[in-house]
Amino acid sequence: MKLNLFERLMTNSRMRYFVQTRIEGPKLKSMASRERYPVCLELGTGAGGGARIIIGLFGAEKVVATDIDPAQIERAKKRLGPLYGDRVILKVEDALDLSGEPAGGYDAVFAFGVIHHTEDWRRALREIGRVLKPGGEYFFDELLKDFLASPLIKAATDHPQTGMFTAGEFTGYLAQIGLKPIRQWRWDGIWLLGSAMKEKG
Ligand SMILES: C[S@@+](CC[C@H](N)C(=O)[O-])C[C@H]1O[C@@H](n2cnc3c(N)ncnc32)[C@H](O)[C@@H]1O
C-alpha cells in the first residue's frame, strides 16, 4: 500500500538515501554469493536509491525498478534517467502481482523495506520466487512485526497487519517455498537483512 505522508517524507529524504547506500547496500553485498547479477528486479524502488546500489555494487547491466505508487516512479525517473538512461526501466507494478515479469527471468530480486508494506507478505515472496532464475538470489531488507506494532511506530506510520512478520516466520516461509536463506543480519524484533537463493532443481 502507498506510504502515509510521514513515511513518504522519510523515504524521500537525504537521510534515507545515506542509510540505504552507505549501510544497507554494502551489508547486502557482503551477503551475496556472486560478484555480478546482470539482470535485476527491484520492488518498491521509492526514490530510486536501490537501483543505484544494484548497478554500483551488484554489477547489474539492466534493472527493472517498480513501485505501486506512480508519484514515486516519476520521482525515481527524474533521478535515475539522466544517470542510466535505458539501463533502468521504471514502471508502476504491485509486488503482489508480478505477472508482467517473466517467470525465471531475473538473476536477483531486491526489495528495500517493501514487503512489510504489502497486504500479503507470503504472496509477495511467492511472486519473487516465481520470477527468479534457478540459482538466482533474493536480497531482503525488512522491518519486523514487534517494531511495526509498537505504539509510536503505529501512530506515525500506516502498515497493513497482514504484511507483518517475525524474522523466523519470514525465513521459515522462504525455505518452505524453495528460497533457501543464505545469510542474515538481525536486530532482534526490529530489522532483518539477508539473502536467499532459489533452489536449482
Ligand atoms: C518504505 S518505502 C521504501 C522505498 C525504497 N525501497 C527505499 O528503501 O528507500 C516502501 C516503498 O514500497 C512501495 N510499495 C508499497 N506497497 C507496494 C506494493 N504492494 N508493490 C510495490 N511497491 C509497494 C511504496 O510506494 C514505497 O515507495
Provide the domain count of the chain: 1
Number of the ligand 1 atom closest to the C-alpha atom of 20: 8
CA distance 30 to 6: 31
Phi, psi of 192 (to 5 degrees): -135, 125
Please tell me the predicted confidence (pLDDT) of residue 83.
96
Number of the ligand 1 atom closest to the C-alpha atom of 94: 20
Please tell me the predicted confidence (pLDDT) of residue 33.
97
Q: Which of 67, 72, 162, 193, when mutated, tests ligand 1's pocket best, judged by the most ligand atoms within 8 Å of its CB?
A: 67
Ligand 1 neighbourhood includes 136 CB (under 6 angstroms): no
Residue type, 142: E
Ligand 1 mean position, distance from CA 23 (Å): 18
Q: 3-state DSSP call for residue 106? A: strand
Please tell me the predicted confidence (pLDDT) of residue 138.
98
Ligand 1 mean position, distance from CA 117 (Å): 7
pTM metric for this prediction = 0.97
Ligand 1 neighbourhood includes 118 CB (under 6 angstroms): yes
Domain CATH code at residue 111: 3.40.50.150
Burial of 22-40, coded b for 16+ CB within 10 Å and e otherwise, reads eebbeebbebbeeeebebb
Question: Nearest CA to 96 among 70, 132, 71, 68?
Answer: 68
Ligand 1 neighbourhood includes 11 CB (under 6 angstroms): yes
CA distance 50 to 65: 8
Ligand 1 neighbourhood includes 25 CB (under 6 angstroms): no
Ligand 1 mean position, distance from CA 201 (Å): 31
pLDDT along the chain (201 residues), means of 10: 85 92 97 98 97 98 98 96 96 98 98 97 98 98 96 89 96 98 96 96 72
Instruction: Supply the range of the domain harboring residue 26.
Output: 5-198
Whether the CB-CB separation of 89 and 48 falls below 8 Å is answered with: no
